[in-house]
Structure 1
Amino acid sequence: MRNSIYLLVLLLIPVNLYGLEVSVTVKGLESQLRDNVLVYLSIEQEKSRSSLTQARLRLLHDKAEGEIREALKPFGFFKPSIISKLEQQEQRFQATYSIDSGPAVKIVEVDFRVSGEGSEDPRVSKDFPLKVGDVLDQSLYDGAKQSLLSNTIEQGYLDAKYLQHRILVDTASDTASIDLHLDTGMRLRFGEVRFNQDVMDAEFLARYVPFNTGDPFSQEALLNLQGQLTDSEYFKRVEVISRRDQVEGDRVPVDINLKPNKKNRYRIGLGYSTDTGPRLTLDWKNRRIGRRGHRMRTEFQISEPISSISTEYVIPLERPTEDYLRLGASYEHFNSDTNQGDRALLNLTHSVSLDRGWRRSLGLEYTREEYQVGNQEGKSRLLVPSVDWLRIKSDGKQRIKRGKRLNFHIEGASDAVLSSTSYFQLYASGKDIRALGDGAWRLLSRLELGATWAEDLTELPPSKRFFAGGDNTVRGFGYQDLGPEDEADDVIGGRYLAVGSLEIDRHISGKWSGALFVDAGNAYDQDYDSETAYGVGLGVRWQSPVGPVRFDVASGRVDDEQHWRLHIVVGPEL
């Protein structure tokens, strides 16, 4: 009796113990249409379910034709011909749908109207992107409709809406008519901006506001303001609220609620590169001194070739996100294979943002340096005015597909003005990154040029001479291992620099890519010997959580001598 009940239960359970093996094939359509049909098909979505029964499978097959018709309508195809077939071989099922999409529905009329205050505003588009004669594409229609509404709202018409939006399709003639009526309503403008906080001067914070009272209301402008206040590091939380409930006439007041950040930030960092070896960094930043946005930072760094302590005091100017005055002081002890010594520096920098992404910095520094380079020992004091232009442009992606960095620098000193020698120096560098084809391949190029006019190289301290070799110049050589040499074959640096590099890399998988590169160049001087050095090699790139990491193995050659070196670098590509 018990065995009979057990057998009866098994017969009543509608479960296929072995599951069904189902394949779905769609024929006759181009890839975009086919992909959309597969998304709509329930049989495609459920084919891998272990609970799928033959009865359920046949039900899904029967409803597939209706789903296919719905999947094609957004692309303008309303009368497709469909041949459906479901074949079975034991537990295997093959569902095949042969489809002729039929004639495409064409647009024969577009009635697009704009009413309200924005009907006279040239910044509000009066033209609908879909035209008479176009194939009716629902996704293009929806995108164009939403884009027009969003752009109108961004111009300050916050109450803009469609009074009518419909598509009339005549399947008999395969034609469609579009009827759209956009009402912009009244254009709203910025009213009073109110900062709710008690740690910063209100007049200083007002410098961050990128608009004036009476300007057309813009949500994008508010987002930019929020981003700039967040990036300032003065505040832990920035909340920007447009007070639509307090509109007076056409003016919308804005409340900005600010929660102060901690004044002091402390950091300890460990780093490594083959130029510097292990590196320890201690960093202290006072984010907020007084109520006018002043800030200060002190950093202590220890590594084998250079150790330093530096501090800087920053005073924001009229455009606090773009312009500033910086006072700095530092002390360095350097001990590389080519030069040793100590350097003390005081500097003043005025930095402003220019058009097209350029930044110009005017500087004045006073340095005292004691040094040994090869068998040369010396002391120098220099009062150095300088001007620097820098432009960095990137697509912002973690693995940059299009980016460029340009830097031009001019400086000099005169022995008639608080300096032990006279010189004039020009320096220029550039780096370009561009993707090839679909972006899997990239070409990276780099160029550095420098020239110094000085009567005697030996009167220049090492910090004002050019050297080459290392992770970011000619790979295959150690840090500052290249340059003009004296009679004892010690590298002493030069008055000129010319270094170039070409690299091609290929995305491999995930966050990994591989690279091949060639570097060439050296530092030069007319009074000393130096030959052009070459470095070739291959490398691996990893997009780590803390930035790109480069692993390079390079073979360097100069004066018929070959060198091998591993380079490891952590840091931004630009």
Structure 2
Amino acid sequence: MTRRIGRQFWLAVALVTPSFLTAFPAAAQLGEPGKAPAQGPSLPREVREGTAQTDPQGDAPIVPDAEFNAALPPLSGDINAPLESMESMRASQPAAQPSPPVASPAPPIAATPLPAAQSAQPLATGDAIGPIAPEDPVLAQPLTPLASFDSVPLQTAADKAEGRNSEIHYDMDVRGLADLNLDGEFRSLSSLREGKGKADNATQVAARAREDEALAVRLMKSLGYYDATAVSTLERPTAANGQPGPMRVVLTATPGRLYRLSSITIQAQPTLPPDLLRRNLPLKVGEPIEAARIQGAEANISLVLPQRGYPFVKVGDRDILLEDQGPEAVGAYTLPVDTGPRSTFGKLTTTGAPVFDLAHLNVFPRFDEGQLYDSRLTDDLRNALVATGLFNGIAVEPQRTGRINPDGTEAIDLQVRQTAGPARTLAGTAGYSTGQGVRAQASFTHRNLFQPEGALIAAVVAGTQEQGVSGTFRRSNAGRRDRTFQFIASASHQNYDAFDALIGTVAVRWSYDSTPIWQKKFTYAYGGELTGTNESVYDFGRGARRRATYGIAALPGLAVFDQSDSLLNPTRGYRLKLNLSPETSVRGAVHPYVRTMIEGTFYYPAMDNLVIAGRARAGAIFGVERDDLAPSRRYYGGGGGSVRGYGFQRLGPVDPEGNPIGGRSLNEFALEARYRFGNFGIVPFIDAGNSYASALPSGKDLRFGAGIGGRFYTNFGPLRVDVATPLNRRPGDGRIALYISIGQAF
């Protein structure tokens, strides 16, 4: 309103001016062109010499204020009213009063007339306006394109000293952050440090310094120093030769007072137990208001409550009211939490492209309907479905139902959203070891040919000393989660120094196994096996080799107790393994016996990148003479999975020709130092062991091998390359043995 009234006032003054000049001659004289009083050399000589008569009014106002104000036309209070016409304004003006007489008026002073272009003489009514001058041609030209302007930033005086195109160097000095343990984090995020001490000009250095000021303040506030300030200065020291040295940026951080929690308030619905929220918000009164600690405490609420029956908890935005006027710097902390209903497990539902129906889906849960909700069991269900390998995507989400149980909890259904993935897989492995030669295996698997989870696996083995084919039917999660049933049929030819055998096998097996996704503490396997084999065997009675046929029936069993932290590349923990297989060998007569093997491994992290690993293994065969055993069922030592440095199956008793004939017992020991750097590793190792003709192993005549290995770590396990040499070499043993495979030795 005030701004609009001011505009009308000046407009009214402009309109009144012509009549005002007419009413007051003195004012009219000032307004007449060419009649302005002369000054300087233009003054009359009488005035310059001081002989002119003085004005009796002196410095008194020509028009008194009262007369001036009375001459102004009245203003309307309506700012939107139209302007009055000039005639009405003249009619409303009071009659001009004659000017008071002036004693001895001085003669008018002639002045040089102004040019016509500068004349301020108003046009009389009815006068015609002269022709408009032609438009300046410069104004008609198009504007200069923006792209033609120079966009290079202005340079400072320091920039010019360095030269327009030269690069400047600078050093950085940070003060005040080391005491708060923020120096390392600041340097990792610093714009000045990112520039590596180089910039195009000083303006760029100053901009980086301002960014680092804000960074330092943020870091200090994150620790609870909310009054923190940071100031940077640019210094230009002079070298001994008088030339300017490198620019120096000094950033000084002042943390100020440390703010602490004065109170902790949680705004939420009642929970069961009542202190569930407060107990799981690990904050205490008096602690610094540290951002990372507060965010971690709030994340703990979001993590723990779904494990305690509250799947729909929502943590709101915290409010911290700082008090900086008191003797202590404190803050009142308030956290709103929407807990949602306390819930129990309901039923499974499914959407999407169904890979499994509800009947098979209900094999996987490890919870019962009506059990208090626990998000860890929901994650366990999702992981089990992922482990099947049949999904491109799988999601398990709790859904509210509105069904209220008698205890007041709400039954929550789990919706399983399925996205089918490829069910067919081609796989291959290859390896090489001295004594065993090259061995490659390829397989084709259809994991869901016989739904649900009925897989058909066809495999072929090709190598310098082993060839074979096999077919397997496998039912995963067979009536119970993690239980697998297999039916196996295979035929192979194995040609080693110990024996040359043609083997056919039919077997069934039930197992509870670990997988890389789901490693279990206890696993087992049991089954039945029928094997027919035709093998070459050394006949000590005849003093020569001959071929013999064996029929073997076995009931193999396996139990593993695993406390390691990884299935393929363990770094801590231990494992215990027991094999037990009652068998009967038929070659002219029935010879029942029992094959046993016990093995223990340990893994100790000596340093962050060094793991000490060890293994001990012992085997024994009871109830049968060695010569009544098929050579392929005997125990042999040596090779990449046994005592490295010796050939495959080369340790143990030998025939007169120097070929191994195997034994009824075995012992092995190994020790490795696994040093890792990035994706690579170096592993020095020493192995020991032997096989024996007796039923129990002996500590005598141990053979030792030592060497060094290289590891290349991948996402599916380490690639292993080991080179070893026998330490107590026998005649016929090689000096160097090489082993290449996937996975650690044990």
Q: TM-score, normalised by structure 2?
A: 0.67
Query: Residue type matched to 2:741 in 1?
Result: V
Provide the rounded CA distance (Å) in 2 between the counterparts of 1:461 and 1:130: 70
Summarize deviations over 1:379-422 as a string: whole Å, max 9, x none. 32222122211244544498643354432111122469997322
Partner of 1:516: 684
How many Å apart are 1:178 and its aligned residue? Answer: 3.1
How far the C-alpha of 1:458 sits from its partner, in A, is 0.9
Equivalence for 1:491: 660
Find the partner of 1:566 among 737, 742, 746: 737
1:5-58 CA-to-partner distances (Å, cap 9, x unmatched) read xxx98998648522221222324515831123335655445565644x313434
For 1:412, the equivalent position in structure 2 comes to 582
Larger radius of gyration: 2
Structure 1 stretch displaced more, 369-378 or 547-556: 369-378
2:537 counterpart of 1:367: no
One-letter identity of the residue aligned with 1:515:
V
Match of 1:284 in 2: 444
Contact kept in structure 2, 1:242 and 1:255, CA below 8 Å: yes
Q: CA–CA distance in 2 between the matches of 1:41 and 1:373? A: 75
Aligned to 1:165: 318
Residues 1:554 and 2:713 are matched in the alignment: no
How far the C-alpha of 1:317 sits from its partner, in A, is 5.1
**Among 614, 639, 646, the residue aligned to 1:445:** 614
Partner of 2:380: 224
**Helix, strand or coil: the match of 1:471?**
coil
Tell me if structure 2 keeps the 8 A contact 1:385–1:412: yes
1:89-129 deviation line (CA, Å, top 9, x unaligned): 4362222345575664444x442436325243676553531
Match of 2:183 among 12, 16, 34: 34
- Quick check: 1:178 aligned with 2:348? no
Matches within 5 A, 1:32-111: 32-38=181-187, 42-45=191-194, 50-51=199-200, 53-58=201-206, 60-61=208-209, 67-78=215-226, 86-89=234-237, 90=244, 92-97=246-251, 104-107=258-261, 109-111=262-264
Identical positions, percent: 19
* Structure 1 position 432 matched with structure 2 position 588: no
Counterpart of 2:555 in structure 1 is: 385
Q: Structure 1's 188 and 320: CA in aligned 2 closer, same or farther, altered over 3 A?
A: same
Cα RMSD (Å) of the superposition?
3.7
TM-aligned CA deviation for residue 162 of structure 1: 4.2
How far 1:139 moved relative to its partner?
0.8
Out of 269, 274, 277, the residue aligned to residue 116 of structure 1 is: 269
Shift, 1:257, TM fit: 3.9
Alignment of 1:245-264 (within 5 A): 250-262=410-422, 264=424
Q: 1:313 to 1:38 in 2, by over 3 A?
A: same
| Pair 531,190 (structure 1): closer, same or farther in 2 beyond 3 Å | same
Match runs of 1:302-321 below 5 Å: 302-316=462-476, 320-321=480-481
Distance 2:568 2:524 in 1: 27
Residue 145, structure 1, aligned to residue 301, structure 2: no
Greater relative contact order (CA < 8 Å, ≥ 6 in sequence): 1
Which residue is 2:694 aligned to?
526
Maintained 8 Å contact 2:169/2:198: no
**Structure 2: tracts of 5 or more residues without a match:** 1-148, 238-243, 405-409, 539-543
Residues 1:418 and 1:105: Cα distance change in structure 2 (over 3 Å)? farther
Q: Which amino acid aligns with 2:388?
A: S
Structure 1 Cα separation of the partners of residues 293 and 153 of structure 2: 51
Write the deviation string for residues 185-241 of structure 1: whole angstroms up to 9, x where unpaired. Answer: 312444442234566553123212344444445554444333322322344443545
| Aligned amino acid, residue 458 of structure 2 | T
Partner of 1:21: 169
1:497 offset after TM fit, Å?
0.9
Number of corresponding residues: 562
2:52 aligned residue: none
Higher strand fraction (1 or 2): 1
Contact 1:467–1:483 (8 Å) recurs in 2: yes
Q: 1:429 to 1:253 in 2, by over 3 A?
A: same
2:639 to 470, 485, 488: 470
Equivalent position of 1:3 in the other structure: none
The one-letter amino acid of 2:440's match is L
Distance 2:595 2:568 in 1: 35
Give the TM-score, by structure 1 length: 0.85
Q: Is the 8 A contact 1:381 1:418 kept in 2?
A: no
Structure 2 CA distance for partners of 1:242 and 1:274, relative to 1, 3 Å: farther
The answer to whether the 8 Å contact 2:644/2:706 transfers is: yes
8 Å CA contact 1:376, 1:458 repeated in 2: no
Structure 1: gaps of 5 or more residues: 1-7
- What's the offset of the Cα at 1:571? 1.5
Shift in Å at residue 360 of structure 1?
A: 1.4
**Partner SS state of residue 555, structure 2:** strand
Deviation per residue, 1:265-300 (Å, 9 max, x gap): 444555444454333323232322443432222211
- Rounded to whole Å, the distance in 2 between the matches of 1:163 and 1:262 is 41
Once the two structures are superposed, residues 442-477 of structure 1 have per-residue CA deviations (whole angstroms, 9 ceiling, x without a partner) of: 212122111111341111112321111111211111
Matched with 2:138 is none
State the shift of 1:181 in Å. 4.3
